[in-house]
Chain A
Amino acid sequence: MSGDIRLRREFIATALLLVLLALLPLVQRDVYWLGVLVVSAYFAILASSWNLLAGFTGQFSLAPAAFAMIGAYGAALSATYYSVPPILGLIIGTGAAGLIGLVLGRIVMRLKGPYLALTTLSFAEIARLVASNSINITRGDLGLPIAGWFNDRVLWFYVFLGALAFVICGLYLLLRSKAGLFLEAIRDDEIAAARSGVRIVFWKTAAFSISSAAAGFAGALYAYFASLVTPELGLVQQTGLVVSMTVIGGMGSLIGPVVGAFLVYVTSEWLRDVGGWQLVIFAALVIVFARLFRTGLWGLVTAALQPRRGKPA
């Protein structure tokens, strides 16, 4: 099937990209730039997880940053009040986000388009407001400190890269199985999918929960990296970044969000030195890509490679 070949090609390209990224510390050991790469990998996980919902299942959620924040608080709160070790904290953060995602996903099952966007946006804002106003538990906007795990930036980079590889492999296996077919069927025509025997409720809820868990996992990992968790992790602007990265990289492809995340974040840090117009440029790019190049950078690349091989899509 052509879909399978396309997915495998994307997976191989992503794997190559990750290997290339893994070589980066050989040439760049600057602490600041390693930090930038770590945050890029964090966003790459968020964007990939969001892409599972928006790109593959057709559920346009505006809550990925909120789930990352939930994961981060899951880890930080359990570390602060029950002094659990980091590995357990990661599991708790991931589990909390996945569980809340399961409930929210089940609730918003019926909603589509603008209605789903509004509901998930409201959920994200409520979660953030609760985190920043529950001062006696979370210390509010001051943020909750959490004991760091280790300090070696190179090691952190590899941990994040490993986490990203783990998420990408998981997504690949999921999408390659029958589940991937079901999800895309739901995206393309929910009613037809239901009539063909796809269990809509189960698969949509599962996709929402898996995506939330992956975002929570990224957030929990980030909590240990930054050793401070603030409600700012859940800001709508963070979701804006995730959406921008996915749209620029290429929505609905496995590699698009990864390319988008590293490209947008690394370039924006690099542009920061020359006047800080980076966010203006990226917002403009999002609009241009959404308007004119709907398949993103990855789509442009594959389209450019196509004629040389002499076979149409």
Chain B
Amino acid sequence: MLTGALAADLAVNGLVTGLFYALMAVGLALIFGVLRIVNFAHGEFYMVGAYAYTIVAARLGVPLAVALPTAFLFGAALGWVVERTLMRPLYANIATWGLMRDEYAVIVTFGLSLLLVNLVDKAIGPYAFRAPALVSASRIVVGPALMSGQKVAAAGVTLVTLAFIALFLRFSYWGRAVRAVSQNRLGASLAGIDATAVSSLVFALAGGLAALAGALLSPIINASPDVGAFPAIKSYVIVVLGGMGSILGAFIASLLLGLVESFGAVLVSYQYRDTFGLVLLILFLLFRPQGLFGERGREV
């Protein structure tokens, strides 16, 4: 049933989908690493990015090379504002906060998600928006598979962005600061790292990456207010699979989930393809909460 050609086709498609997931999941993992919270409004940054790109590129007629970074900057600015206004209580005075810290984070990001969805719904409208194409070619041959030109172009931009983020985290001062704060907030602060600035940076970066993902995919899945729910759920699954807070884990788990879904849809069940990841999430949280690549000993 599964011929070589089909398998190759599924593999390429799964990996490309996984790349898009990674753009979302890496940001979520960064936030979890630094702040120890799950951002339940992550999908809305994706949605905002899709709208920013569509409006800037289609309405104002700005060229692609400007429209994509605009979407990124818009998401980043939103992320920065959110961190400044809503996330500060999480670590401003940790001692008095104590008990309800996790609940506060869930409520406030959940509320933010509702707010952004309904705000866009009222301000712009509930109808799907058609975004201008990234490239003119409709079909491109990638190795053994035939793919939509949009996807190939988006995957290319994604790869470059992810490589850039990896280099940033590995070598730059601020990248090392992010990793230090993820490992130990207090220790990093004692070593002179501005942990508050790192939190802002991480939220801005994550918002920007999610917005970029939305912008890149908007020509394929037209922007609508609730468009972020789906990729957000995928990225929750991925950060759990990869080990909450692990960046490399999130990247690898993204590709894995892309493959699992692409093969699972053909081999197991097409109807229930969206439940595979969710079942994996529950199983992982129960039996291997540190994920595939996370560290042991985290409080669960």
Give me the interface of A with B, judged by CB distance under 8 Å. Answer: 54, 58, 60, 62, 107-108, 110-115, 117-119, 121-123, 125-126, 129-130, 133, 187-188, 236-237, 240, 243-244, 247, 275-277, 279-280, 282-284, 286-287, 290-291, 294
Contact = CB atoms under 8 A, between A and B. Distances in A.
Contact of B106 (A117, A119, A129, A279): A117
Interface stretch (B11-19, B140-148, B275-283): B275-283
A60 B272 contact: no
Contacts, number: 127
Given A122-B282, A280-B119, A236 B107 contact: no
A125 B300 contact: no
Contact of B114 (A114, A118, A240): A240
Given A112-B300, A237-B114, A291 B86 contact: yes
A114 B233 contact: no
A119 B111 contact: no
B285 A111 contact: yes
B118 A60 contact: no
A301 B192 CA distance: 44
A243 B110 contact: yes
B37 interface: yes
B102 A114 contact: yes
Interface of B: 32, 36-38, 40, 86, 89, 99-108, 110-115, 118-119, 121-122, 229, 233, 236-237, 240, 244, 271-272, 274-275, 278-279, 281-282, 285-286, 289, 299-300
A111 B300 contact: yes
Contacts of B37: 114
Contacts of B100: 294
Contacts of A283: 111-112, 114-115, 118-119
B282 A280 contact: no
A191 to B, nearest CB: 12
B238 to A, nearest CB: 11
B281 A119 contact: yes
15 contacts: A111-B286, A113-B102, A113-B105, A115-B289, A117-B40, A129-B275, A133-B271, A243-B110, A280-B122, A283-B111, A286-B115, A287-B108, A291-B86, A291-B89, A294-B104
Given A107-B286, A126-B278, A282-B114, 15 more contacts: A58-B103, A108-B286, A111-B286, A117-B40, A118-B236, A118-B285, A122-B236, A122-B279, A122-B282, A129-B278, A244-B114, A277-B122, A279-B114, A283-B118, A287-B108
B119 A240 contact: no
B110 A119 contact: no
A287 B272 contact: no
Give 6 closest A-B pairs by Cβ, nearest first.
Answer: A113-B102, A283-B115, A286-B111, A283-B114, A279-B118, A122-B278
